Amino acid sequence: MSDLNERLSGHVLITDDIEMNREVLVNRLERLGCTCATAANGVQALAYLRQHPTDLVLLDIMMPQMDGFETLRQMKADPALRDIPVIVISAVGEMTSVARCIELGAEDFLPKPFDPIVLKARVRACLERKRLRDQEREYIRQIEAEKQQVNDFLDLIVPIGADLAEEHDFSRLLHKIVESGRLVSSADGGILYLRTDYVTLEPIVILNAMLGTMVTASDPKPAQFGVLNLSSHMDWPVVDAFNNQRIVACASDETGCEDPFYQADQTNNQRTLTQICLPLRDHERKPIGVMQYTNARSADGVITPFGAHTTRLLEALGRFAAAALLGYIRTEASMQMSRPSRVEVHIDQNAREAQVAQIAESEYFQRLHANIRRLRDRVTPSAVSGPQG
């Protein structure tokens, strides 16, 4: 009795040249919980299927203009339609035709006149099989996407992270951090901001491939890329990312996307359409800076939003970059303590003590290095090129 009362769920296309048959099937299936559409022949059915998501087709064999055989052939030849299950509607004397339709790819048959119990059982079975197939395809898609993410992580991010950890030139390290993220995200430009004190962010490195711009840590910064006050520029994405420790991605027409990039656009006749800002944290998850990238591009050069996969890669790169920065600072600070007259740390002279206070503990940093080397052994390292000299 529970099977008789069970409700079905699915969108069914009923294809039959006899209007009364269509009406009977629509009435019965809608009472069972399905939504229905109808077509009088195969031509109409194919046109409908190419425009509307459909879970099941009930298909008569003998119809004018295009019969069930040809409709099945065209459905199974079309990658967009081949996975839609088909139940053939047949008269008692058409079993040879039914067998032929099943050979062409139909899943089942429904004899005329329509028995309500048989109708429900066969429609339910086909809808359930389709649901399971769709679920399986989605699982496979997710597995492939996750596999690609792992491959990208091993092939791109781990070698970059290892290269950053081994870089001993501070200017080259900063450049590599920004350029690596720009290449990973296929972005036009990028900026690395570091906290100079508790109320400001300073752009340390500025790169823009489209404009041919490269401003390093020791170069004077253009006027439009000045120090950002964390209390007075709170609606700017880079400040929002730092203050709230969250990833901020937006388009140029969204509220709150005014920042130095758009001022630079006016100067250089360029349009920044998309951007993403990712906070950098130390091992205690305290904020130390922000990586900002603009105008991600697709393979054909069209500006696109920064997608979820790219965001995850940039997050991983940001963790390596923060560890490399803190490791460098710790090494330089240790040398400064032993030879203060010969070593200086050039992040910001007014906040040297604050930077040193954010240095990773030795055990953490050594453990991170060990993990990087272990992962790096599994791939072929590809060093990210930095400025020479």
The string of DSSP letters for 108-137 reads EEEESSPPHHHHHHHHHHHHHHHHHHHHHH
DSSP letter for each residue of 302-365: -EE---HHHHHHHHHHHHHHHHHHHHHHHHHHHHHHH-TTT----S-GGGHHHHHHTPPPHHHH
Domain annotation covers residue 384: no
Q: Checking phi first, is residue 80 left (phi over 0); if not, alpha (psi -120 to 50) or beta?
A: alpha
Comparison of pLDDT for 350 and 241, the residue scoring more: 241
Q: Would residue 153 count as lying in a domain?
A: no
Check: CB of residue 37 under 8 Å from CB of residue 48: yes
Q: What are phi and psi of 167, to 5 degrees?
A: -80, 130
Asked whether residue 338 carries a pLDDT value surpassing 70, the answer given is no
**Angle of CA points 12, 16, 21, to nearest 5°:** 90
Tell whether 149 is covered by a domain.
no
Is residue 44 within 8 A of residue 15, CB to CB? The reply is: yes
Domain hosting 284: range is 167-376
Query: Does one domain contain both 115 and 234?
Result: no
Query: Residue 30: CB partners within 8 Å, gap ≥ 6?
Result: 36
- Boundary residue ending a domain (118, 135, 152): 135
Indicate whether 294 and 357 sit together in one domain: yes
245 shares its domain with 334 = yes
**pLDDT above 80 (res 139):** yes
Query: Is residue 106 located within the same domain as residue 212?
Result: no
User: Looking at the structure, do residues 200 and 275 belong to the same domain, yes or no?
Assistant: yes
Mean pLDDT rounded to a whole number for the chain: 78
Domain final position from 135, 159, 180? 135
Side-chain half-sphere of 2: how many Cα atoms within 13 Å? 0
C-alpha count within 13 angstroms, C-beta hemisphere, residue 228: 29
Report pTM: 0.51
**Residue 188: Cβ-neighbour burial (10 angstroms; 0-12, 13-18, 19+):** buried
| Residue 212, Ramachandran bin (φ over 0: left; ψ between -120 and 50: alpha; else beta) | left
Domain check: are 231 and 370 in the same one? yes
What pLDDT shows up at residue 72? 94
Residue 381 lies in a domain: no
Let me know whether 183 and 306 are in one domain: yes
- Say if residue 118's pLDDT is above 50: yes
| Together in a domain, 225 and 353 | yes
Tabulate helix, strand, coil % of the chain (nearest 5).
50, 20, 35
Percent of the chain with pLDDT over 90: 30
Cα distance between residue 350 and residue 339, in whole Å? 20
Q: What is the pLDDT of residues 264-322, one digit of tens each?
A: 554 555 677 889 999 998 878 888 899 999 999 888 888 888 988 888 888 888 888 88
Please name every residue paired with 274 in a beta bridge, in sequence order, or none if there are none. Answer: 251
Question: 197 and 101 in one domain?
Answer: no
Residue at 120 is within a domain: yes
Q: Give 52-94 pLDDT, tens digit per residue.
A: 999 999 999 989 999 999 999 999 999 999 999 999 988 767 7
Tokens 């696109």 correspond to what residue? 304
Question: DSSP string of 250-284?
Answer: EETTSTT--SHHHHHHHHHT----EEEEEEEE-TT
Give the residue among 94, 89, 101 at the shortest CA–CA distance from 59: 89
For the chain, percent of residues with pLDDT exceeding 70: 73
pLDDT at 272: 78
Considering the domain boundaries, does residue 245 fall inside one? yes
Q: Tell me which of 199 and 24 has the higher pLDDT.
A: 24
Q: pLDDT value at position 97?
A: 86
Which of 22, 353, 38 minimizes the C-alpha distance to 196? 353
Here the CATH number for the domain that contains residue 65 is 3.40.50.2300
If asked whether residues 288 and 372 sit together in one domain, one would say yes
Q: pLDDT per residue over 156-209, tens digit each? A: 677 777 777 777 777 888 888 888 888 888 899 899 998 887 688 888 888 888
pLDDT confidence of 45, banded at 50, 70, 90? very high
In a domain, 212, yes or no: yes
Claim to verify: residue 219 and residue 130 sit in the same structural domain = no
CA 299 from centre of chain: 15
Domain membership flag for residue 145: no
In the chain, the number of structural domains is 2
pLDDT score of 261 more than 70: no
CATH, residue 353:
3.30.450.40
Report pLDDT for 339. 46
Cα–Cα dist 135/305, whole Å: 28
| Same domain, residue pair 186 and 292 | yes
Query: Is residue 223's pLDDT more than 70?
Result: no
